[in-house]
Structure 1
Amino acid sequence: MSKFNIDNDAIRQLAELLDETNLTEIEVAAGDNKIRVARQGATYAAAPAPLAAAPVAAAAAPAAAASGGDVASHPGCVKSPMVGVVYFAPEPGAAPFITAGSTVAEGQTLMLIEAMKTFNPIRAPKAGKISQIIATDGNPVEYDEPLVIIE
Protein backbone atom coordinates (compact mmCIF):
# COMPACT_ATOMS: atom_id res chain seq x y z
CA MET A 1 0.00 0.00 0.00
CA SER A 2 1.54 3.31 -1.04
CA LYS A 3 1.42 6.25 1.30
CA PHE A 4 0.79 9.77 0.12
CA ASN A 5 0.87 13.10 1.87
CA ILE A 6 -2.26 15.19 2.01
CA ASP A 7 -1.58 18.89 1.61
CA ASN A 8 -4.31 20.41 3.78
CA ASP A 9 -3.31 23.96 2.81
CA ALA A 10 -3.71 23.14 -0.88
CA ILE A 11 -7.16 21.70 -0.23
CA ARG A 12 -8.16 24.79 1.77
CA GLN A 13 -6.93 27.11 -1.01
CA LEU A 14 -8.91 25.17 -3.61
CA ALA A 15 -12.01 25.22 -1.39
CA GLU A 16 -11.65 29.01 -1.06
CA LEU A 17 -11.27 29.27 -4.84
CA LEU A 18 -14.54 27.34 -5.23
CA ASP A 19 -16.28 29.86 -2.97
CA GLU A 20 -14.80 32.87 -4.74
CA THR A 21 -15.62 31.64 -8.26
CA ASN A 22 -18.92 29.86 -7.51
CA LEU A 23 -17.64 26.69 -9.20
CA THR A 24 -18.97 23.33 -8.03
CA GLU A 25 -15.67 21.49 -8.42
CA ILE A 26 -12.04 22.06 -9.33
CA GLU A 27 -9.16 19.71 -10.09
CA VAL A 28 -5.46 20.47 -10.48
CA ALA A 29 -2.85 17.95 -11.57
CA ALA A 30 0.90 17.65 -11.94
CA GLY A 31 2.01 14.36 -13.44
CA ASP A 32 0.38 11.50 -11.53
CA ASN A 33 -0.47 13.76 -8.59
CA LYS A 34 -3.78 15.55 -8.45
CA ILE A 35 -6.16 17.31 -6.10
CA ARG A 36 -9.90 17.42 -6.75
CA VAL A 37 -12.23 19.46 -4.55
CA ALA A 38 -15.97 19.36 -5.12
CA ARG A 39 -18.80 21.25 -3.47
CA GLN A 40 -21.70 19.17 -2.19
CA GLY A 41 -24.03 21.50 -0.34
CA ALA A 42 -21.82 23.27 2.20
CA THR A 43 -19.13 20.57 2.40
CA TYR A 44 -16.01 19.86 0.39
CA ALA A 45 -14.59 16.48 -0.58
CA ALA A 46 -11.07 15.66 -1.69
CA ALA A 47 -10.42 12.74 -4.04
CA PRO A 48 -8.16 10.02 -2.67
CA ALA A 49 -5.20 10.43 -5.05
CA PRO A 50 -1.54 11.29 -4.57
CA LEU A 51 -1.40 15.01 -3.88
CA ALA A 52 1.02 17.76 -4.84
CA ALA A 53 1.20 21.36 -3.68
CA ALA A 54 2.90 22.75 -6.80
CA PRO A 55 -0.27 23.23 -8.91
CA VAL A 56 -1.90 25.27 -6.16
CA ALA A 57 0.30 28.27 -6.86
CA ALA A 58 -1.12 28.47 -10.37
CA ALA A 59 -4.66 28.00 -9.08
CA ALA A 60 -4.21 30.67 -6.41
CA ALA A 61 -3.60 33.46 -8.95
CA PRO A 62 -7.25 33.62 -10.10
CA ALA A 63 -8.31 33.59 -6.46
CA ALA A 64 -6.26 36.69 -5.79
CA ALA A 65 -7.73 38.40 -8.85
CA ALA A 66 -11.28 37.53 -7.85
CA SER A 67 -10.98 38.73 -4.26
CA GLY A 68 -11.72 42.40 -4.94
CA GLY A 69 -15.19 42.43 -3.37
CA ASP A 70 -18.44 41.45 -5.03
CA VAL A 71 -17.48 41.54 -8.71
CA ALA A 72 -20.86 40.16 -9.81
CA SER A 73 -22.54 43.46 -8.93
CA HIS A 74 -19.95 45.58 -10.78
CA PRO A 75 -21.63 47.49 -13.66
CA GLY A 76 -18.91 46.32 -16.10
CA CYS A 77 -19.15 42.66 -15.13
CA VAL A 78 -19.59 40.28 -18.07
CA LYS A 79 -21.30 37.10 -16.84
CA SER A 80 -21.45 33.67 -18.40
CA PRO A 81 -24.63 33.12 -20.41
CA MET A 82 -24.23 29.34 -20.11
CA VAL A 83 -22.51 26.44 -18.41
CA GLY A 84 -19.36 25.30 -20.17
CA VAL A 85 -15.58 25.52 -20.37
CA VAL A 86 -13.86 28.89 -20.97
CA TYR A 87 -11.16 29.33 -23.59
CA PHE A 88 -9.36 32.66 -24.02
CA ALA A 89 -7.75 31.76 -27.37
CA PRO A 90 -9.28 30.48 -30.63
CA GLU A 91 -7.01 27.40 -30.53
CA PRO A 92 -4.21 25.98 -28.36
CA GLY A 93 -1.02 28.00 -28.71
CA ALA A 94 -2.77 31.01 -30.31
CA ALA A 95 -2.72 34.51 -28.83
CA PRO A 96 -5.57 35.16 -26.37
CA PHE A 97 -8.56 37.28 -27.42
CA ILE A 98 -8.00 39.60 -24.43
CA THR A 99 -5.51 40.31 -21.67
CA ALA A 100 -5.85 42.36 -18.50
CA GLY A 101 -5.43 46.01 -19.45
CA SER A 102 -6.34 45.54 -23.11
CA THR A 103 -8.95 47.74 -24.77
CA VAL A 104 -11.97 46.11 -26.42
CA ALA A 105 -14.64 47.34 -28.80
CA GLU A 106 -18.33 46.62 -28.39
CA GLY A 107 -19.09 43.25 -29.98
CA GLN A 108 -15.47 42.07 -29.91
CA THR A 109 -14.95 38.42 -28.94
CA LEU A 110 -13.68 38.18 -25.36
CA MET A 111 -13.50 34.39 -25.08
CA LEU A 112 -15.18 31.17 -26.14
CA ILE A 113 -17.33 28.94 -23.97
CA GLU A 114 -17.51 25.33 -25.08
CA ALA A 115 -20.88 23.76 -24.33
CA MET A 116 -21.97 20.44 -25.82
CA LYS A 117 -18.96 20.43 -28.21
CA THR A 118 -19.95 23.84 -29.61
CA PHE A 119 -17.69 26.87 -29.18
CA ASN A 120 -19.81 29.93 -28.38
CA PRO A 121 -18.18 33.37 -28.68
CA ILE A 122 -18.73 35.67 -25.71
CA ARG A 123 -18.73 39.23 -27.02
CA ALA A 124 -18.10 42.53 -25.25
CA PRO A 125 -21.41 44.24 -24.40
CA LYS A 126 -19.63 47.62 -24.43
CA ALA A 127 -16.33 49.20 -25.37
CA GLY A 128 -13.76 49.72 -22.64
CA LYS A 129 -10.66 48.43 -20.89
CA ILE A 130 -10.39 44.92 -19.41
CA SER A 131 -9.65 45.72 -15.77
CA GLN A 132 -9.99 42.19 -14.44
CA ILE A 133 -10.15 38.67 -15.85
CA ILE A 134 -11.98 36.46 -13.36
CA ALA A 135 -12.48 33.21 -15.27
CA THR A 136 -9.57 30.83 -15.80
CA ASP A 137 -8.67 29.47 -19.23
CA GLY A 138 -9.65 25.84 -19.68
CA ASN A 139 -11.81 25.71 -16.55
CA PRO A 140 -15.56 25.22 -16.25
CA VAL A 141 -17.94 28.08 -15.52
CA GLU A 142 -21.50 28.11 -14.29
CA TYR A 143 -24.43 30.11 -15.65
CA ASP A 144 -24.32 33.78 -14.54
CA GLU A 145 -20.76 33.43 -13.19
CA PRO A 146 -18.60 36.59 -13.55
CA LEU A 147 -16.04 36.23 -16.36
CA VAL A 148 -14.38 39.65 -16.83
CA ILE A 149 -14.77 43.27 -15.80
CA ILE A 150 -14.84 45.97 -18.50
CA GLU A 151 -14.28 49.55 -17.25
Structure 2
Amino acid sequence: MSNESHVSDVAFIRALAELLNENDLTELSVKREYGQDDTLNVRVSRRGETVTTQVSPPPAPAAPEPAQTAGAAAAPLGEDPASHPGAVTSPMVGSVYMQAEPGAPSFVSVGQHVTEGDTLLIIEAMKTMNHIPAPRGGIVTRILVEDGAAVEYGAPLMIIE
Protein backbone atom coordinates (compact mmCIF):
# COMPACT_ATOMS: atom_id res chain seq x y z
CA MET A 1 0.00 0.00 0.00
CA SER A 2 1.44 3.38 -0.90
CA ASN A 3 1.95 6.20 1.57
CA GLU A 4 -0.68 8.23 -0.30
CA SER A 5 -3.33 5.55 0.27
CA HIS A 6 -2.28 5.36 3.96
CA VAL A 7 -2.92 9.11 4.30
CA SER A 8 -6.33 8.75 2.65
CA ASP A 9 -7.10 5.77 4.95
CA VAL A 10 -6.32 7.89 8.01
CA ALA A 11 -8.61 10.65 6.71
CA PHE A 12 -11.29 8.04 5.99
CA ILE A 13 -11.06 6.61 9.52
CA ARG A 14 -11.23 10.09 11.06
CA ALA A 15 -14.30 10.86 8.95
CA LEU A 16 -15.92 7.64 10.22
CA ALA A 17 -15.17 8.61 13.83
CA GLU A 18 -16.73 12.03 13.25
CA LEU A 19 -19.77 10.39 11.64
CA LEU A 20 -20.06 8.12 14.69
CA ASN A 21 -20.05 11.10 17.06
CA GLU A 22 -22.24 13.40 14.96
CA ASN A 23 -24.98 10.78 14.59
CA ASP A 24 -24.70 9.43 18.14
CA LEU A 25 -23.94 5.91 16.88
CA THR A 26 -22.35 3.24 19.07
CA GLU A 27 -20.57 1.32 16.31
CA LEU A 28 -19.72 1.64 12.64
CA SER A 29 -18.08 -1.00 10.43
CA VAL A 30 -16.88 -0.52 6.84
CA LYS A 31 -14.96 -2.66 4.37
CA ARG A 32 -13.05 -0.88 1.63
CA GLU A 33 -11.64 -2.91 -1.29
CA TYR A 34 -8.71 -1.53 -3.26
CA GLY A 35 -8.06 -4.61 -5.36
CA GLN A 36 -8.35 -8.36 -5.38
CA ASP A 37 -6.06 -8.91 -2.35
CA ASP A 38 -5.96 -5.40 -0.88
CA THR A 39 -8.72 -4.42 1.57
CA LEU A 40 -9.23 -2.14 4.54
CA ASN A 41 -11.65 -3.27 7.27
CA VAL A 42 -12.50 -0.59 9.83
CA ARG A 43 -14.65 -0.92 12.93
CA VAL A 44 -15.14 2.18 15.07
CA SER A 45 -16.97 1.64 18.34
CA ARG A 46 -17.96 4.03 21.09
CA ARG A 47 -17.97 1.27 23.72
CA GLY A 48 -14.58 1.30 25.45
CA GLU A 49 -13.23 3.71 22.79
CA THR A 50 -12.22 0.76 20.56
CA VAL A 51 -10.88 1.36 17.09
CA THR A 52 -9.99 -1.72 15.08
CA THR A 53 -8.30 -1.56 11.70
CA GLN A 54 -7.38 -4.53 9.56
CA VAL A 55 -5.40 -4.20 6.33
CA SER A 56 -4.45 -7.09 4.10
CA PRO A 57 -1.57 -7.19 2.45
CA PRO A 58 0.60 -5.26 3.28
CA PRO A 59 0.27 -5.02 7.09
CA ALA A 60 -0.83 -1.81 8.78
CA PRO A 61 1.93 0.54 9.98
CA ALA A 62 3.02 0.14 13.60
CA ALA A 63 1.13 2.10 16.23
CA PRO A 64 2.87 5.11 17.82
CA GLU A 65 4.83 4.58 21.03
CA PRO A 66 2.72 4.98 24.19
CA ALA A 67 3.02 8.26 26.04
CA GLN A 68 5.56 8.34 28.84
CA THR A 69 4.17 8.10 32.32
CA ALA A 70 5.97 8.72 35.54
CA GLY A 71 4.88 8.39 39.09
CA ALA A 72 2.41 5.62 38.25
CA ALA A 73 3.78 3.62 41.19
CA ALA A 74 3.20 6.59 43.49
CA ALA A 75 -0.51 6.66 42.61
CA PRO A 76 -2.59 4.32 44.75
CA LEU A 77 -4.58 1.73 42.84
CA GLY A 78 -8.09 2.93 42.11
CA GLU A 79 -7.15 6.60 42.42
CA ASP A 80 -8.94 8.70 39.83
CA PRO A 81 -6.32 10.92 38.13
CA ALA A 82 -9.02 13.53 37.45
CA SER A 83 -9.38 14.08 41.21
CA HIS A 84 -5.65 14.85 41.62
CA PRO A 85 -5.18 18.54 42.54
CA GLY A 86 -2.63 18.97 39.73
CA ALA A 87 -4.76 17.30 37.03
CA VAL A 88 -5.16 19.08 33.72
CA THR A 89 -8.45 17.95 32.19
CA SER A 90 -9.73 18.13 28.64
CA PRO A 91 -11.88 21.18 27.93
CA MET A 92 -13.49 19.42 24.94
CA VAL A 93 -14.05 16.19 23.04
CA GLY A 94 -11.46 15.48 20.33
CA SER A 95 -8.21 13.83 19.33
CA VAL A 96 -5.00 14.53 21.26
CA TYR A 97 -1.75 15.43 19.53
CA MET A 98 1.39 15.71 21.63
CA GLN A 99 3.40 17.63 19.00
CA ALA A 100 2.72 20.38 16.45
CA GLU A 101 3.25 18.02 13.49
CA PRO A 102 4.36 14.43 12.92
CA GLY A 103 8.07 14.04 13.61
CA ALA A 104 8.31 17.25 15.65
CA PRO A 105 9.33 17.10 19.31
CA SER A 106 6.52 16.80 21.88
CA PHE A 107 5.31 20.01 23.50
CA VAL A 108 6.05 18.58 26.96
CA SER A 109 7.56 15.48 28.53
CA VAL A 110 7.52 13.94 31.99
CA GLY A 111 9.85 15.84 34.32
CA GLN A 112 9.73 19.05 32.28
CA HIS A 113 9.04 22.38 33.99
CA VAL A 114 6.20 24.37 32.40
CA THR A 115 4.97 27.87 33.07
CA GLU A 116 1.37 29.04 32.99
CA GLY A 117 0.22 29.45 29.38
CA ASP A 118 2.76 27.06 27.81
CA THR A 119 1.17 24.76 25.21
CA LEU A 120 0.84 21.26 26.67
CA LEU A 121 -0.78 19.55 23.68
CA ILE A 122 -3.29 20.06 20.89
CA ILE A 123 -6.84 18.75 20.80
CA GLU A 124 -8.36 18.51 17.34
CA ALA A 125 -12.11 19.06 17.45
CA MET A 126 -14.18 19.42 14.28
CA LYS A 127 -11.04 19.90 12.18
CA THR A 128 -9.86 22.77 14.39
CA MET A 129 -6.53 22.49 16.21
CA ASN A 130 -6.95 23.81 19.76
CA HIS A 131 -3.75 24.49 21.73
CA ILE A 132 -4.27 23.53 25.37
CA PRO A 133 -2.29 25.84 27.67
CA ALA A 134 -0.88 24.98 31.09
CA PRO A 135 -3.33 26.35 33.68
CA ARG A 136 -0.45 26.81 36.13
CA GLY A 137 3.30 26.43 36.33
CA GLY A 138 5.02 23.34 37.68
CA ILE A 139 6.61 20.01 36.77
CA VAL A 140 4.82 17.55 34.47
CA THR A 141 4.78 14.37 36.59
CA ARG A 142 2.44 12.19 34.52
CA ILE A 143 1.11 12.19 30.97
CA LEU A 144 -2.14 10.23 30.95
CA VAL A 145 -2.98 10.21 27.23
CA GLU A 146 -1.30 8.85 24.12
CA ASP A 147 -0.70 10.75 20.93
CA GLY A 148 -3.69 10.34 18.60
CA ALA A 149 -6.04 9.15 21.36
CA ALA A 150 -9.65 10.28 21.54
CA VAL A 151 -10.56 12.19 24.71
CA GLU A 152 -13.85 13.16 26.26
CA TYR A 153 -14.74 16.40 28.02
CA GLY A 154 -13.21 16.39 31.51
CA ALA A 155 -10.87 13.47 30.85
CA PRO A 156 -7.53 13.83 32.69
CA LEU A 157 -4.69 14.66 30.26
CA MET A 158 -1.69 15.10 32.55
CA ILE A 159 -0.62 15.96 36.07
CA ILE A 160 1.35 19.13 36.83
CA GLU A 161 2.72 19.48 40.37
| TM-score, normalising length: structure 1 | 0.61
For 2:144 and 2:125, the matched residues in 1 are separated by: 19
Selected match of 2:80 from 70, 73, 81 = 70
What secondary structure sits across from 1:72 in the alignment?
A: helix
1:139: how far off?
1.1
**Alignment RMSD (CA, Å):** 3.8
| TM-score, normalising length: structure 2 | 0.57
1:93 — aligned with what?
103
For 1:46 and 1:145, the matched residues in 2 are separated by: 18
**What is the number of residues matched between the two proteins?**
117
Give the direction of change, closer, same or farther, for the CA distance of 1:135–1:46 in structure 2 (3 Å limit): closer
1:140: how far off?
0.8
Q: Does 1:81 align with 2:91?
A: yes
Q: Does 1:148 align with 2:147?
A: no
1:3-22 aligned within 5 A: none
Unaligned runs of 5+ in 1: 1-23, 26-31
- Aligned partner letter, 1:82: M
Percent identical pairs in the alignment equals: 48
**Contact persistence 1:84–1:113 (CA under 8 A):** yes
For 1:66 and 1:39, the matched residues in 2 are separated by: 27
For 1:96 and 1:35, the matched residues in 2 are separated by: 28
Unaligned runs of 5+ in 2: 1-25, 28-38, 56-61
What secondary structure sits across from 1:137 in the alignment?
A: coil
